């Protein structure tokens, strides 16, 4: 049941399907991969699990409060379940006061992980890091600074990532993203615009990093 007004084009029930369609085109959420959550009027909107991300409809979205109690769920006959990323989404809301969290399966990032066995990514010397937010300093990076992003190891189930995700948040107070090796990335921001545009900046710099590594630059 969708009780609230969704006339606004920036309402999560409109935005989430629209953004997922864009992310699908980007190659970030193909094969039902990835997910997204947006906080709105203190309610948490969450995309369903295991669906084609480019075909989502407004009433496919789950709504819960900050304690995880359901406020609205999709129609019963749609047989949908909440994103398996929910525990990590909530962790970003609680630990980082995020306004939106995006999970993507970027192939570019998986390639970068394959080239980088370390447990963090270090990026510098590119203009586009000016679009990445330093959560500790409360401002965007300068282009002469270094961005460090933690990599955590993948697990069998998304829910088993919560502990290492939380550790990464503590150890890297500046970061607005956590990479899951050979899997993808979680990115959050103060609102959906920040989460989305940071995703684009990360994707951009990962693409350049892969290029540098395979060409020994």
Is residue 49 a contact residue for a second copy (CB under 8 A)?
A: no
* Minimum separation from the CB atom of position 10 to a second copy (A): 10
- Cα–Cα nearest to 142, from 155, 151, 129, 153: 129
Which of 29/44 has CB closer to a second copy?
Answer: 29
Among 17, 183, 185, 187, binds a second copy (CB under 8 A): 183
Among 97, 122, 143, 146, binds a second copy (CB under 8 A): 143
* Minimum separation from the CB atom of position 208 to a second copy (A): 6
Is residue 116 a contact residue for a second copy (CB under 8 A)?
A: no
- Residue 63: φ, ψ to 5°: -130, 130
Q: At what angle do helices 162-171 and 86-96 cross, to 10 degrees?
A: 30
Cα 200 to the chain's mean position, in Å? 11
Bridge partners, 103 (sequence order): 35, 186
* Minimum separation from the CB atom of position 154 to a second copy (A): 6
| Catalytic residue chosen out of the listed positions 54, 77, 127, 145 | 127
Is residue 154 a contact residue for a second copy (CB under 8 A)?
A: yes
CA quadruple 199, 65, 32, 85: dihedral positive or negative? positive
> Which one of the spans 63-71, 85-93, 165-173, 200-208 is the region binding a second copy (CB under 8 A)?
200-208
Q: Alpha helices of the chain — where are they, by DSSP H?
A: 12-25, 86-96, 107-115, 162-171, 192-214
Is residue 197 a contact residue for a second copy (CB under 8 A)?
A: yes
Cα 126 to the chain's mean position, in Å? 22
Among 8, 125, 148, 160, binds a second copy (CB under 8 A): 125
Is residue 134 a contact residue for a second copy (CB under 8 A)?
A: no
DSSP state of 51: S
Which of 150/189 has CB closer to a second copy?
Answer: 189
Instruction: List binding-site positions.
Output: 85, 103, 105, 183
Is residue 175 a contact residue for a second copy (CB under 8 A)?
A: no
Give the length of the chain.
217
Is residue 159 a contact residue for a second copy (CB under 8 A)?
A: no
Number of residues binding to a second copy, judged by CB under 8 A: 41
Question: Is residue 127 annotated as part of the catalytic site, yes or no?
Answer: yes
Q: Output the CA–CA distances (angstroms, integers) from residue 132 to 19, 98, 161, 179, in the order listed.
A: 19, 14, 23, 15
Q: Which residues are catalytic?
A: 127
């Amino acid at each position: 049941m969708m009780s609230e007004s969704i006339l606004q084009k920036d309402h999560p029930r409109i935005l989430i399907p629209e953004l997922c369609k864009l992310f699908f085109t980007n190659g970030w959420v193909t094969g039902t991969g990835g997910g997204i959550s947006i906080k709105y009027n203190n309610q948490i909107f969450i995309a369903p699990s295991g669906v084609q991300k480019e075909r989502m409809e407004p009433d496919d979205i789950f709504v819960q409060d900050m304690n995880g109690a359901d406020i609205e769920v999709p129609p019963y006959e749609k047989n949908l379940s909440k994103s398996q990323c929910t525990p990590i989404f909530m962790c970003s809301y609680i630990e980082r006061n995020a306004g939106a969290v995006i999970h993507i399966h970027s192939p570019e990032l998986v390639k970068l992980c394959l080239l980088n066995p370390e447990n963090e990514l270090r990026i510098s010397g590119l203009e586009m890091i000016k679009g990445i937010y330093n959560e500790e300093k409360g401002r965007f990076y300068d282009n002469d600074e270094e961005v460090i992003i933690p990599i955590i190891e993948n697990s069998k189930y998304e829910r088993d990532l919560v502990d290492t995700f939380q550790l990464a948040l503590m150890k890297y107070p500046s970061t607005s993203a956590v990479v899951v090796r050979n899997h993808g990335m979680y990115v959050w921001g103060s609102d959906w615009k920040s989460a989305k545009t940071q995703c684009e900046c990360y994707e951009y710099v990962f693409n350049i990093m892969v290029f540098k590594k395979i060409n020994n630059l």
